Structure formats: structure tokens, C-alpha cells
Amino acid sequence: MLRTIGLMSGTSLDGVDAAWIETDGQAIGRLGPSLTLPYDAELRRDLRKLLDLAADLPADDPFLLDCERRLTEWHAEAVLKLGQPADLIGFHGQTILHRPAAGQPGKGRTWQIGDATLLARLTRVPVAHDFRTADVAAGGQGAPLVPVFQAVLAAGLPKPVAILNLGGVGNVTWIGSDGQLLAFDTGPANGPLDDWARRSTGADYDVDGRLALAGQVDGAVMASLLRHPFLTQPPPKSLDRLDFDRALREAGADALSPADGAATLVAFCACTVAAAARHFPEPPLQWLVTGGGRRNAAIMRALAAALPEPVRPVEIVGWDGDALEAQAFGVLAARSAAGLPLTYPGTTGVPEPITGGRITAP
Ligand SMILES: Nc1ncnc2c1ncn2[C@@H]1O[C@H](COP(=O)(O)OP(=O)(O)OP(=O)(O)O)[C@@H](O)[C@H]1O
Ligand SMILES: CC(=O)N[C@H]1[C@@H]2OC[C@@H](O2)[C@@H](O)[C@@H]1O[C@H](C)C(=O)O
């Protein structure tokens, strides 16, 4: 088994999640400590700016390179703070653009920034990185990547089960009784809500969903959003963090009051999850919710109303919803080192299971 440290900077841009996990990529030995190192306001703002600029930026743009260096140093700081010995780091980096081309090998693009050479030098540990490129190059969605780890974690749970991650974007993993995996992005989750909270109240996010709980869902905006073709599109499918921004503007969301806007975004998030469930081969026995969205009481209430099955935070089965994605990248790093598949036809739509990632020595 390898002692790994998984590092994830998700689409919420809230900070680096780091987790220690002992694994050979197939089984989990020990789960160790984890932490989140939140970005300071300046780095968070610059990363958010990068998302808007990414489509037109050359890879050697000075602003991009400066952000990449700062992002990498932040990750190194997270590793040092964790203070655990490691044989391998799994470094996701920060997605700034995601445009896969389903079923068209060589046509899609997914872009995670992060300087693996610098991270390996700063931590003196080999770094596995660039986990999504091979899958997109082979015609896969390049996301989600966590299902292979969730399947190991969920081995002892009654099936079918649905694991819902509510980060900036939402994604779900459905695991059937025979171990069948179906995973895909559900729709926007905290991303548009965070942008809305920042614009309307100045806060980084709607703490505990209080703003949304004080508002009313706007029927006209909802009706417009629910017509988005992503909801009925069959999986595999994945999203860029900004994919719904235009639809939200066109639906007239910008004209809503702060509370009604938040309430409407929350209700839409729950509707996208209900729409996702229509793609499952059979209903799950329960939904286990991970990611920051599980702390948003408005989202959890809306999910409970929209789904017929029980909806609970993953802590109910003893998992740590703040560490899960980081732990996944430790396992993905070990799988990459062993040449094991990271993605499958049922998770990214790649034609056959393939490995991915590259390893950079210190
Ligand atoms: N107490 C809380 N109340 C409401 N929302 C919260 C709370 N805590 C966290 N969040 C939300 O969760 C988000 C962070 O979630 P998470 O860390 O799962 O995202 P991520 O890892 O960046 O995303 P992704 O899964 O897209 O990679 C915050 O931006 C915020 O919107
Ligand atoms: C391209 C990209 O970075 N996608 C993220 C994003 O955030 C949530 C969702 O969209 C998911 O598909 C993915 O992250 C997790 C870690 C994954 O790949 O499983």
C-alpha cells in the first residue's frame, strides 16, 4: 500500500482540501487526517476571474502563470500543514475550463492548472496529476472521476445507492446491486449560488441557506430554467462551472430580490437532481449527500421535497463529506501509479476503461 495525500481544489474555489489515505488504489488501508486550507480573498477573486478568461487565454499568459504558481504554493502549504509522511501526492489542480467532446476522440478540451513540478519540489514527494486529459482525449467526459473511489467506500452499503456531491457543480454516482456504476454531473449546485450571494450580499456563500430560506421560488424563472436541454440529455454528461450562467441570465434570474434569487437557485438545484434520477436504471434506496451543499439547509430541505427516497449527509454512513474528494485523489493517484483504470463507460462514457494521470518526480 502507498501512503498518499489527495489534494482537491473544486469548482467552488473555496480552498484546497487535503486528505491522507493509505491505499493500493483498489482497497483502502487507513484513512488519516484531512484539512481544508481556504484561499484568501485575493486568490479566490483571481481564480474566479480566470474562469471567465480561460477560453481565450494562451497557456503562457502571465496572469494565468502567476495564479498557477500561487495556487500550487497554496497546495504545498496544505501538504505541509497536514504534516503526514507520503509516498505519492494526487494533485487535481484547478479546473478553469471544461469542454469535452462526447464520443469525439481528440476534439475535447479540459484544463486544470497547477504546477506539478513545483509541487513535487516544494514537498519532495512524487506528484500524480493531469487526471482528466487522457479520458477526454479518448472521447470521454473527463468527469466525474470520484465514482471509482466511491464504489470502494460503498462496498458494504445496501444497493442501489445514490451518492450526490454538491460542490460548485453537482454530480451523482448511482451504484446498482451488481456493482454497476452510472455517474454524471447533475447541474449547477453551489457555483451560481455563491456568485449570487457575492453579488447581492457580499458574502462568499449563503451561510446555512438562510437567504434562500427567507425567499420565494420564482415560477417564471424556474419554468425557463427547467427547459434547459441538459436535464433530459442522457448520461454521460459533465459541465463547466459557467455552463448555466447564460441560461440564468436569459431566465431573468438577475432581476430577482436577493432572497428570491437564492430560493430559486436552490429549488432549481433540487430539480436537476430529481431530473438526474430519471436516468437511473432503478431508484436508489437512499441518497447520500457530500460536498459543501449538504450544509445548506435550504438545499437539503428542497432535496427532501423533490426526491421520494431518504436524503442524508454521508456522515450517516461514517464518511467525511469535507474530505471525500481529496481522499478520492489519493486513491486515483495510486491507481494511476499502478496503471489501473480511472474511468469507465458508465462514468465518463469513455469507450473502454482507461487509466490516466502522469507522475512527476521531485
Ligand atoms: N455552512 C454552509 N452553508 C451553506 N453553504 C455552504 C456551507 N458550507 C459550505 N457551503 C457551500 O459549499 C461550497 C463548497 O463546497 P465544496 O467544498 O464541496 O466544493 P468544491 O470541492 O469546490 O466543489 P466541486 O465538488 O465542484 O469540486 C461553498 O462554496 C458553499 O457554497
Ligand atoms: C471538470 C471538473 O473539474 N469537474 C468537477 C466539477 O465539480 C463537481 C463536478 O464538476 C465533477 O464532475 C468534477 O469534480 C469531481 C471531483 C469529479 O471529477 O468527480
Q: Is 10 annotated as a binding residue?
A: yes
Q: Is 330 annotated as a binding residue?
A: no
Q: Taking 90 as the threshold, does the pLDDT of residue 104 lie above it?
A: no
Q: Report CA-CA distances (Å) from 41 to 11, 15, 48, 293.
A: 16, 10, 11, 21
- Res. 106 pLDDT band, cuts 50 70 90: confident
Using CA positions, which residue lies closest to atom 21 of ligand 1?
10
- Res. 208 pLDDT band, cuts 50 70 90: very high
Ligand 2 atom nearest the C-alpha of 8 is 16
Q: Is 306 helix (H, G, I), strand (E, B) or coil?
A: helix
Q: Where in the chain are all domains bearing CATH 3.30.420.40?
A: 2-147+321-360, 156-317
The residues that bridge with 38 in the sheet, in sequence order, are 15
Cell of 251: 431566465
Q: Which residue has the cell 450517516?
A: 316
Exposure b/e, 52-71, CB count within 10 A at least 16 = b: eebeeeeeeeeebeebbebb
User: Are the C-beta atoms of residues 189 and 291 closer than 8 Å to each other?
Assistant: yes
Average pLDDT over the chain reads 97
Rounded to the nearest angstrom, the distance between the alpha carbon of 105 and the centre of ligand 2 is 20
pLDDT digits (tens, 9 = 90+) for 266-299: 999 999 999 999 999 999 999 999 999 999 999 9
Q: Which long-range contacts (CB under 8 A, 24 or more apart) does 49-53 make?
A: 50/96, 50/113, 51/13, 51/96, 51/97, 51/241, 51/242, 52/242
User: Are the C-beta atoms of residues 115 and 75 closer than 8 Å to each other?
Assistant: no
Cell of 305: 421535497
Indicate the helix (H) or strand (E) that contains 231: none
Residues with CB under 6 A from ligand 2: 10-11, 95, 98, 110, 143-146, 167-169, 171, 185, 238-239, 325
Ligand 2 atom nearest the C-alpha of 95 is 3
Q: Is 170 helix (H, G, I), strand (E, B) or coil?
A: strand
Rounded to the nearest angstrom, the distance between the alpha carbon of 305 and the centre of ligand 2 is 25
Quote the CA–CA distance of 311 and 305 in Å, as a whole number: 10
Rounded to the nearest angstrom, the distance between the alpha carbon of 240 and the centre of ligand 2 is 9
Quote the CA–CA distance of 189 and 144 in Å, as a whole number: 15
CA of 235, nearest ligand number = 2
- Res. 159 pLDDT band, cuts 50 70 90: very high
Residues with CB under 6 A from ligand 1: 8, 10-12, 14, 165, 167-169, 190, 193-194, 205-209, 291-293, 295-296, 325
What would the DSSP string read from start to end of 90-143?
EEEEEEEEEE--TT-TTT-EEEEE--HHHHHHHHTS-EEE--SHHHHHTTS---
- What amino acid occupies position 335? R
Rounded to the nearest angstrom, the distance between the alpha carbon of 106 and the centre of ligand 1 is 32
Q: Taking 90 as the threshold, does the pLDDT of residue 100 lie above it?
A: yes
Ligand 1 atom nearest the C-alpha of 8 is 21
> Which ipTM did the prediction report?
0.98
Rounded to the nearest angstrom, the distance between the alpha carbon of 6 and the centre of ligand 1 is 18
Report the topology of domain 2-147+321-360: Nucleotidyltransferase; domain 5 (3.30.420)
Residue 75: closest CA among 37, 32, 31: 37
The residues that bridge with 330 in the sheet, in sequence order, are none
Report the C-alpha dihedral over residues 11, 116, 7, 203, rounded to 10 degrees: -40
The CATH number of the domain covering residues in 156-317: 3.30.420.40
**pTM > 0.90:** yes
Residue 301 dihedral angles phi and psi, to the nearest 5°: -70, -45
pLDDT digits (tens, 9 = 90+) for 14-60: 999 999 999 999 999 999 999 999 999 999 999 999 999 999 999 99
Using CA positions, which residue lies closest to atom 3 of ligand 2?
95
Rounded to the nearest angstrom, the distance between the alpha carbon of 189 and the centre of ligand 1 is 9
Sign of CA dihedral 278, 279, 281, 283: negative
Q: How many CA atoms lie within 13 A of 317 on its CB side?
A: 21
Quote the CA–CA distance of 88 and 90 in Å, as a whole number: 7
Q: Is 13 annotated as a binding residue?
A: yes
